[in-house]
Amino acid sequence: MTTEMSDSIARDLEFTPISIQSDKSLNGNVAELWNDTNPLVSWLSRLRGPLNVTTDRFLRRAIEEGGGLPNGMTPEDAIQAVFHVTKADLSPTSERMISDILPPEIAQLWQTA
């Protein structure tokens, strides 16, 4: 996704409040969850172009290994859950932009979420 696309989608999510009840609480909005807390990484990610990540690598590395999934939850289930919640707060234009850039296997999860 280009930086411009990312900024546009962040604006859609900017006013979606989040609040988790428990000793681990989040206050703010959904867009803040996408902000990188490392200033150097954040700056570099705005300079470089979009990454080309294969579906298998994304499912295995980002979701299965790095996502902290509960036992029994598949990467696909986690992706669909996130997509379902995210789509509720996006404009139709942002939904189409995301759908158009996803690899076919992930786009199918997006469409069914």
Bridge partners (DSSP) listed for residue 18 = 28
pLDDT along the chain (113 residues), means of 10: 81 64 52 68 77 78 74 86 85 90 90 91
Largest CA distance in the chain: 39
CB 39 within 8 A of CB 23: no
Give pLDDT, residue 23. 46
Give pLDDT, residue 95. 92
Tell me if residue 69 falls in helix, strand or coil: coil
CB 66 within 8 A of CB 74: no
Give pLDDT, residue 65. 72
pTM: 0.65
The residue extents of the domains of the chain are 3-112
DSSP for 16-61 reads: -EEE--SSS--EEEGGGGGS-S-HHHHHHHHHS------HHHIIII
Give pLDDT, residue 96. 92
Reported for 90-98, long-range contacts at CB under 8 A and 24+ positions apart, including other chains, are 90/9, 90/12, 90/13, 91/12, 93/8, 94/8, 94/9, 94/12, 97/5, 97/8, 97/9, 98/1, 98/9
